[in-house]
Amino acid sequence: MVVTAAKREYFRELVRQDQKQKENERLEAMLLEGLNSGTATAMTTQYWEDVRQAVQERLTKRKQQYQG
């Protein structure tokens, strides 16, 4: 059987389309999981300040562990 360049490209395009479809399905599943994960948290200035503080505390703790 002779496989021409056109046949190879057609097959590659089918594979790309399949991969894209699977990526879209995965993304949709992740979005639905997020929507169904519970009560939303308001992203207020205070929330982000608390996140930054928690990260800074963890970094400080790690630095202390490696220094001591």
Predicted TM-score (pTM) of the model is 0.53
Chain segment 8-60, per-residue pLDDT in tens: 999 999 999 999 999 999 999 999 999 999 888 899 999 999 999 999 999 99
The pLDDT of residue 61 is 93
pLDDT tier at 68, thresholds 50, 70, 90:
low
* Tokens, residue 60: 């400080």
- pLDDT at site 18: 98
Would you kindly state where each structural domain of the chain is located, as residue ranges? 5-67
Helices (H), the chain: 5-35, 45-67
Task: Supply the DSSP symbol for 32.
Answer: H
- The larger pLDDT score, comparing residue 18 to residue 2, is at 18
